[in-house]
Amino acid sequence: MSIFEKIIQKEIPANIVFEDDLCLAFTDISPKAPVHILIIPKTPIPTAADLKPEHASLMGHLMIKATEIAKEQGLAEHGYRLVINCKDHGGQEVYHLHIHLLGGKKLYGLPV
């Protein structure tokens, strides 16, 4: 079981900012920007490379929630970055698909 599944199961703590039947959002333990939130599906899809057409609705839901959370966090006016790292060359460390929401300052380069 990945560390994110343990967070979903509430076996380890996280600062949860949003939760519904399909997804969970919580602050990154090692923030790379003033706002750094991870949005994850509750179903354990390991990587973006594992996505299938039947995940289209779920991924749409995650993207919409990411933008709603960005607005709640006060990021909508100046903007933000949404990132999905995929496998080793993409810099993925946790093999449970997640969207990084980063903002609160002007971002240069590749923060995550």
Least Å from the CB of residue 106 to ligand AMP? 19
Residue position matching structure tokens 């903007």: 79
What does the per-residue mask of binding to ligand AMP show for 75-104, with x meaning CB under 6 A? ----------x-----xxxx----------
Active site residue 98: yes
Instruction: Kindly indicate which of the ranges 22-30, 49-57, 58-66, 68-76 contains the residues binding ligand AMP, using the contact rule CB under 6 A.
Output: 22-30
DSSP the chain: --HHHHHHTTSS---EEEE-SSEEEEE-SS-SSSEEEEEEESS----GGG--GGGHHHHHHHHHHHHHHHHHTT-TTT-EEEE---HHHHT--SSS--EEEEESS---S---
Within 28-57, the residues that bind ligand AMP by CB under 6 A are 28-30, 38
> Does the footprint of ligand AMP cover residue 24 (CB under 6 A)?
no
Q: Which amino acid is at 20?
A: D
By annotation, the residues acting in catalysis are: 98
Q: What are the residues binding ligand AMP (CB under 6 A)?
A: 3, 14, 26, 28-30, 38, 85, 91-94, 112
